[in-house]
Every structure is written in C-alpha cells, then in structure tokens.
Amino acid sequence: MLRFGTAYYPEHWPRERWERDSELMSKAGFNTVRMAEFAWSKLEPEEGKFNFEWLDEAIDIFDEKGIDVVLGTPTAAPPPWLTEKHPEVLPITEDGQIFGPGMRRHYCVNSEVYRDYTREIVSKMAEKFGNDNRIIGWQTDNELGSPVCYCDTCRSKFRNWLRERYDSLEELNDSWGTAFWSHTYTKWSQIPLPNENPSMNPNPSLHLDYKRFFSDSTIEYNRLQTEILKEKSDKWVCHNFMGFYDNFDHYEMCKDLDLATWDHYPTKLRDTYEEVSAGHDLTYGFKERPFWVMEEQCSYLTRDKITATPRPGETRMWTYQSIAHGADGIMYFRWRPCRFGDEQFHGGVLQHDGSLESPAYQEIKQIGEEVRKIGGEIEGTKANSEVAILSPYEQRWSMETYRNHSPYDYQEEIINYYRALFDANINTAFIPKYRDFEDYEVLIAPVLPMMNSSLSSKIEEFVRNGGTFVAGFRTGIKDYNNIVTDQSLPGELKDLFGIEIHDYTSIQENQEIEFVGRNELEGKKYLSRKWADCLEPKSAKTLAQYTEGWPAQENYSAITKNEFSKGQAIYVGSSSDENLYRDLIELLVDSTDVSPIMNSEEGVEVIERSDGQKKFIFVINHTNHRKKTKLDREYKDILGEKILSGNVELEPYGVRVLRE
C-alpha cells in the first residue's frame, strides 16, 4: 500500500476536533498520520512525569478510521523545564552566542545530560507504543543537523575524537600542516575550535575535521535513539532529511535507519523543478530503495516571507513527481495551519478555519482516489539509472573550507550536470564513494577536490572495465587531510585523463574567457565561468580549446577526452552556461549505451520506475502551459485507463502515468 497522509498535531487542537479531522482525512484517502515529533512538553510535562494518555486516545481515534500512525520522538524541541534546569545543553553557535530556547533545535548533540534525557523519553515512548499495532514506524527527532555547536563539551569531545583519528600530536601536526603561522601543537588541549577567530579562515584541515566530527556526533546522537527503538519496538525507523542540506553524512546515518525520508518544499528551494527532482534522487540513493516524502508542500509556506500558494494542479504534479522518483509514501505538511507559533502562516491541507472549502483539500482528495487506484501497482518498483553523480559529503566540506575564496558552489556545479540529464530525460542516481561503480555506464564527479589512492584506483578500474568517467575542474587538487597535493595536476588521475595541468585561473565576475569545441564538439562556443584549468593533453584529445586571453596564447585545452583501456575519461576544465552541459550529455549519449527514456518538450519531465517486470513511465508537465509529448510506442495510461500512442496532450501541471 502506497502511504498517503499528513502531519497531525493533536496537541494544537481541542479534543472534540480530533474525530472530525480523522473523518476528513479518511475521506481524502489518507491511510497514515505522523504525530508527536514536537510534543515533549505534553508527553513529559514535568521531569519524570509522563502523560501518554492523550496521545493514546488520539491514536485510537485515527485507528478507528483505518489510519496508521508514524510516531516522532520529540527531541527536536526540548521543554522549558529541561533547559531551565540544564542550560548547559544549549548549543553555542559559530559566532559564540548561546542558541537559546524559544524556537526549536536548541540542544547540543554532544551534551551527555541531553543524551540522558533523550534516552529516557525515547525509552518510555518505545515501551508504551513500540509493539502497538496502530503504529507502523518511528521518525527520530526532526530535521537533524543544526545548529553546528561550538560549546565546551564539543571542544573536549572534538579533542578526544582527534586522539582516536591521529596516533600522536606529531601526526596531527603533520597532517594539518601546523607549521604554518606557528600553529604547532604540543598538547591536545591547545587545539582550538574552527570558530575561534571568526574574521579569518581557520586551518583548512582543522575545519574539515570539525565537519567530520560534527557529522559523526549527529550520527551518534541519532544512533542512540535508533538503538533504543530497535531494542524495544518491532517497527521501522526513519528520519526526515532536507535534500542537499549537508551538516552530516546522510549515507552514514542511513546505515542505522530502515527508511530514508525527506521534507520537500519546492517553493523554498531555488525554485527550479530540476533541483526538486535532484532532491528526490539524492534521497532515493541514501538507502537505494523507495523513500517517503515525510513533508510534502501543499500550500503556502512561511519563513522570511509568505511564499506563493501552489497553483491548481501544482500539488498533484509535485506528488506524482515524488512518486516518479521513487517515493512510496507521501505525507502532506501539515493537516491544518496552526493558529499560533512561528509557523502560524505555514499553510496546510485545510485552512485555519478547518472547513472542507480549502482548495488544497479538494485537490488532495482527488489525488487520494488516484493513489488508491494505482499505488499498489507502483509501490516497491525502483528508480533505476545508468548514470550516477558522485556526491560524497567530505568533498563538499573540503570545498567549503575555502569559504571566502571558494571557486565554486557545490550544489550549483552538481545541478549544472543534473539539469542537462533531466532535460534529456535520463534517470540519474546520486551515490557515495564506497558504492560499487560498476553498475553504472557513466560516473560524473562535478566536484572532487580530494583524492587518495584507493579512490583513484577504484575510478581507474571502473574506466578500465568500460565505464565513462567525467570530472569537473579542480579535480584531485588535495589529499584527504585537505592539503594541496605536491603532484602535477590532476594528481593521481593524470594517467587516467591523459593530461597535465600546470596553470589555471579564477574567472572574475566581469571577466570572460571564450573556449570553442574541437572534434566531437566542433562548432560549439562557450564562455568560461568561475574557473579555467589549463589542460595540456598528453594521450588525451581536445574537445574544447581556449580562444581568448593567455590560455589561448599557450594553446591550452579546456575539455579533453582520453581513451583508457575499454573506457573513457573526460576532464571538464571550466564551467559555463547550460549549453555546455547539454552538449556534454549529448556526447555521452552518442558514445555510451546511455539513452533518454523518451524525448519531450522543454518543461516536460519523463522518468521511469520499474522492477524488471513492470515498467512505469511518468510524463510530468512542470509548466502552467499546455504541452504535447510524442510517445515512442503504445502505452496504457493507468490513471485514465486508456491505451495511448502518438501525440499526448498534457494540461498545465498535467501528469500521465504510463505502463508499458
């Protein structure tokens, strides 16, 4: 059964209303609600005095309507009695300020006091509801990862973490290059936190290790909860992530979880449908199996300002986009906007008045009928892909340590390639570096500054066996301590790419360097953005060459391709506009077995889920204009229950779900 539901906060509404809400949800086709993830002060109103009766009663009311419950542990919002008694659990932000109560997430993941209170409330909830048939699963906390803490506890745990990572202080000094500016440490107690001189960049190796430490701390804090839940409950455990948010390694955390979920707010992102799709694919990759959208936008949002209300059909389109990318659960956020609190204008399925007249309710009710009809068939099928984007968190952290002088924005470089794949209707996976690469035809690493011999050998092996590897500029410039390599660039991958790089330049905002296509890209013209690596081909051939400025005088290449054993390695030495990435993806389609699922007009996404036997093709119009798509063969439209072929019309935000 495909899960379909919403977040419900019984603690925000009078007891008399719960019944009515459960009825309305049932009529909308909901089979699941999430509850309790911010309800600590209602569940434990005084220290050690627990009150689960109200929650028990609420769960009962929904159970009677056939609606199952996902319970959240309430640790994202510590109650006032706790922080009053133990102000030491409050985190310290990067600028040295106490992140005080009054909002949420005001706790340090490393506080042993907070961990004890966490153990207590999670254990009590697990003992009460852990084997309850009305409950199907758990969500730990809510949107972990912030704020990054710099308190005294974190300082002392960080030093212990370093002692485990490095055998000796000498090794740490050597690995961090502390000879620079007289940073050589003679005692572990001298090691600072990276926020101690906020006007300056910290040592890049210190900064990267603090990122690793805070990630490990967050994963450890989550594990504390999953271990209790696994011991005392027979239900699955998930956490709700936030797309490309990167304060901890999501792949690592997912080893402790049964299900990956994420909170999907398209109008809060940079508002491009490609990025929304990328967030789904990223989340799918955390467990490489169907995920849930734990919070699906269905109305306006509020943070800095109130965002636009979704247009008619837009919520339905987002829902099908989620399902198309592998979601087996869709939970709208939230059931009804709260009358009070920070999110009083964060819209929901209903409006504040709770009436059925809400357009979102009417639209979601229609989706509910459709999901009941087709969900069972689709559930469990996979989002397969032949192209993978390598997205290790450490690489991103390494790049962020440049802070004031980073040549690039990690997410933007990833999306440059992703957008071209999206436009070509090619399914894409996001994978960590330890994933087996051999399942893919093409591996793209837009941002890969750090390299070591195990990763370079793995990439070489992949190409030797026939794979195509594509890397962006600045690849392999550092080691895994964030220290610049002393080899000629691109370091350990020189032979694979068949090039050497001895010169490069940052491109300033008012500066442009033209480069033009050669060989397979003959006739194309691009303008460099952000960066220009100056490639000297050895065994590689040139795919693009600089035609302006000193890189042109030296005949430097901008893009090269090297045949390496059975495969090929392409080095993209610069960044440019979308034409470059579109041309590169076309080149990959021509030179590998990767092919688009189907051609479509701009703004129409075509994506596939299958299980080897059944294959579903989703055709999604992301625009508010009518669109046409020409089908490549005959399909059954399982929503309209018609056989379709040839040209198919799509309404504004229209969706077709086709079965082969």
Total of chain residues touching Zn ion, rule CB under 5 A: 6
Backbone angles phi, psi at 655, to 5 degrees: -135, 140
Q: Which one is catalytic: 295, 394, 413, 608? A: 295
> Which span (151-159, 257-265, 444-452, 619-627) binds Zn ion, by CB under 5 A?
151-159
Least Å distance, CB 593 to Zn ion, is 50
CB 397 within 8 A of CB 450: no
Q: Is the dihedral of CA 22, 27, 28, 33 positive or negative?
A: positive
> Which span (16-24, 25-33, 152-160, 367-375) binds Zn ion, by CB under 5 A?
152-160
125 contributes a contact to Zn ion by CB under 5 A: no
| Beta carbon nearer to Zn ion, 110 or 557 | 110
Among the listed residues 24, 144, 154, 501, the single contact to Zn ion using CB under 5 A:
154
Residue 387 belongs to what H/E stretch?
Answer: strand 387-390
Distance separating alpha carbons of residues 432 and 427, to the nearest angstrom: 17
Residue located via tokens 């819209």: 347
Distance separating alpha carbons of residues 37 and 358, to the nearest angstrom: 25
| Beta carbon nearer to Zn ion, 223 or 458 | 223
What is the SS3 assignment for 174? helix
Beta bridge partners of 259: 238
Least Å distance, CB 141 to Zn ion, is 16
| Beta carbon nearer to Zn ion, 151 or 493 | 151
> Which span (103-111, 401-409, 473-481, 631-639) binds Zn ion, by CB under 5 A?
103-111
371 contributes a contact to Zn ion by CB under 5 A: no
151 contributes a contact to Zn ion by CB under 5 A: yes
What is the SS3 assignment for 649? strand
Tell which phi-psi region holds residue 102, choosing left (phi > 0), alpha (psi between -120 and 50) or beta.
left
| Beta carbon nearer to Zn ion, 110 or 576 | 110
90 contributes a contact to Zn ion by CB under 5 A: no
| Beta carbon nearer to Zn ion, 108 or 580 | 108
The token duo for 227 is: 């271990």
149 contributes a contact to Zn ion by CB under 5 A: yes
70 contributes a contact to Zn ion by CB under 5 A: no
> Which span (127-135, 148-156, 194-202, 532-540) binds Zn ion, by CB under 5 A?
148-156
Least Å distance, CB 37 to Zn ion, is 22
148 contributes a contact to Zn ion by CB under 5 A: no
Catalytic annotation on 11? Answer: no
619 contributes a contact to Zn ion by CB under 5 A: no
Q: Is the dihedral of CA 304, 306, 308, 310 positive or negative?
A: positive
108 contributes a contact to Zn ion by CB under 5 A: yes
Of 398, 393, 389, 396, residue with least CA distance to 431: 389
The token duo for 488 is: 């000629």
Q: Which one is catalytic: 44, 143, 370, 394? A: 143
89 contributes a contact to Zn ion by CB under 5 A: no
Catalytic annotation on 363? Answer: no
Each residue of 610-622: b (16+ CB within 10 Å) or e?
A: eeeeebbbbbbbb
Report the relative pairing of strands 529-537 and 574-575 from DSSP bridges.
Answer: antiparallel
Distance separating alpha carbons of residues 394 and 449, to the nearest angstrom: 10
193 contributes a contact to Zn ion by CB under 5 A: no
Distance separating alpha carbons of residues 93 and 100, to the nearest angstrom: 10
421 contributes a contact to Zn ion by CB under 5 A: no
Residues of span 395-414 touching Zn ion by CB under 5 A: none
Of 479, 483, 457, residue with least CA distance to 469: 457
444 contributes a contact to Zn ion by CB under 5 A: no
| Beta carbon nearer to Zn ion, 115 or 264 | 115
Catalytic residues: 143, 295
Q: Which residues bind Zn ion (CB under 5 A)?
A: 108, 110, 149, 151, 153-154
